[in-house]
Amino acid sequence: MIDKIDLSLVDWSRAQFALTAAYHWLFVPLTLGLSFILAIMETIYVKTGNEEWRRITRFWMTLFGINFAIGIATGIILEFEFGTNWSNYSWFVGDIFGAPLAVEGILAFFLESTFVAVMFFGWNKVSKKFHLVSTWMVAVGANLSALWILVANAWMQHPVGMVFNPETARNEMVNFWAVLFNQVAVDKFLHTISSGFLLASMFVLGISAWYLIRNREEQIAKKSILVAGVFGLLSSLMVAYTGDQSTRTVSKVQPVKFASMEALYEGKNNAGLIAFGVLKDTDKKIGDKTEKEFAFKIQIPGLLSVLTGGDRNAYVQGLRDHILGNEKLQITSASEKILRGKYAMTVLTSYKKARYNNDTALISSIKTVFNDNEFQNRYFRYFGYASVEKPDDVIPNVTASFYSFHLMVILGFLFILIFSVALYLLFKGTISDNKWFLWIALFSIPLPYIASELGWLLTELGRQPWIIQDLMTVTRAVSQISTGSVITTFILFAVLFTGLFISEVSIMVKQIKTGPKH
């Protein structure tokens, strides 16, 4: 473990990882969704034999290819950063975290990359059906890649299926299926891929709207809107459903994050759901942190209790319950968790000393303690609290969590409306005449990107100060490298990723202006 923590190193390491992840996630959702849209379009082509569908598929496939290549580059850098910037984390949980990433590389990535060449270059070299299978396999492979990465991230949010080995000071996987079917992983995967489907559908809808505004490629644009509209509407409904399920799970396994998402300080029965609100500081504090209250809010009475507890009178836990404790609800206070975490750390330190002194009797005794279920459930589960200085340090940024969550939800309902209107106007036969909607569709292209980034902002900021919930803080996970080297690579990556992003947008705009090949 690290004895002295350089907070500037931690901040710059976090900034570098956040930069890489944010840029990477600009490319991934489009890959996830557009791959399935391509498969659907090509299926229609194979079924109907209509060459216009072939032309449509190849056009969107070109845009997919541009995005796909750049997404891979940023993803590789992101995985390497776990070793370079977060080596203590990698040591502590590498046996668990590395497994899904290895599966992703061996199974999903090779499945995807094997068929992508056939998809791009096999149009006149293989049969229609084999080419169609290749396109579907690329779509499946891309989304399987997402599965394993999201399983790894979900484990960080809700660690399950492992035991701690005091000899190596590492967590070791004992139940792969518990990790794979972790409820957080299931919710996260379904919500993430459906949001990718939504984003790609809005991308196709917006660009098709631009063609109609310019009075170009009318039939191709309308056919694309048909696929994007149906796929997008179903996906946006799925996003709403999986988002609701994910929020319910968070309320159970990460209650502090959940309370921060709702800016709920005092737990209550008959808690209302905040549709939206504006936060302001108050005179009240929890420790050194200032509480927030609503300067303005739109609230649905009792709905939060119903959604989380199934009953209007169900009690919804607030931040004070978890920081100060709630004896009636048997919620352990943060200060008590700190004491228990420090005791677990003391036991581990004693074990290290016993091994150093070759005290076999003490080694055996402490091993027995570590294997005891009561010790695991009462003390080691709070191991990370040994690194927490004050109880209020476990409160994440409430303002960022609240606004990220609620803006994402508002945008989610807006997407349902946009896709519904698109299909209504398309089937009515007046979509080309409603220029106002076409402009809305065009300028809505960035909105799913914003919503998607807000989702990851909430996921990561909402669990602070933890890199692994309750087991390891971010400050303990960082590598012992110079701050200067992290700053240097941060600047290099910022320039590189910005350049890649500008290049992708420029190439895509040029390709869109050129239009489908005849």
Q: pLDDT per position in the chain (518 positions), as tens?
A: 445 567 788 889 888 888 888 888 888 899 899 999 999 999 999 999 898 999 999 999 989 988 887 777 777 777 777 778 888 888 888 778 777 777 777 766 677 777 888 888 888 888 899 999 999 999 988 888 888 888 888 999 999 988 888 888 888 888 989 999 999 999 999 999 999 999 999 999 999 999 999 988 888 999 999 999 999 999 999 999 999 899 889 989 999 999 999 999 988 888 888 888 899 888 888 888 888 888 888 888 888 888 888 788 888 888 999 999 888 888 899 999 999 999 989 988 888 888 888 888 888 888 888 878 888 888 888 999 999 989 999 999 999 999 999 999 999 999 999 999 999 999 998 999 999 999 999 999 999 999 999 998 998 898 889 999 999 999 888 888 888 888 998 999 899 889 888 988 898 899 898 888 76
Please tell me the predicted confidence (pLDDT) of residue 2.
41
Please tell me the predicted confidence (pLDDT) of residue 1.
41
Q: Are 19 and 490 in contact, with CB atoms under 8 Å apart?
A: yes
Predicted TM-score (pTM) of this structure: 0.91
Cβ contacts of 6-11, under 8 Å, gap ≥ 24: 6/483, 7/475, 8/483, 9/478, 9/481, 9/482, 9/483, 9/486, 10/474, 10/475, 10/478
Q: How far apart are the first and last CA of the chain?
A: 63
Dihedral Cα 310, 312, 315, 319, nearest 10 deg: 100
> Token pair for residue 380?
């080691």
Q: Are 390 and 321 in contact, with CB atoms under 8 Å apart?
A: no
275 three-class SS:
strand
User: Who contacts 261 (Cβ-Cβ below 8 Å, separation ≥6)?
Assistant: 247, 250, 401, 402, 405, 458, 462
Please tell me the predicted confidence (pLDDT) of residue 385.
93
User: Who contacts 84 (Cβ-Cβ below 8 Å, separation ≥6)?
Assistant: 479, 481
DSSP assignment of 177-203 equals HHHHT-HHHHHHHHHHHHHHHHHHHHH
Rounded to an integer, what distance in angstroms lies between the CA atom of residue 518 and that of residue 505?
23
Helices (H), 429-514: 435-443, 446-461, 474-477, 483-514
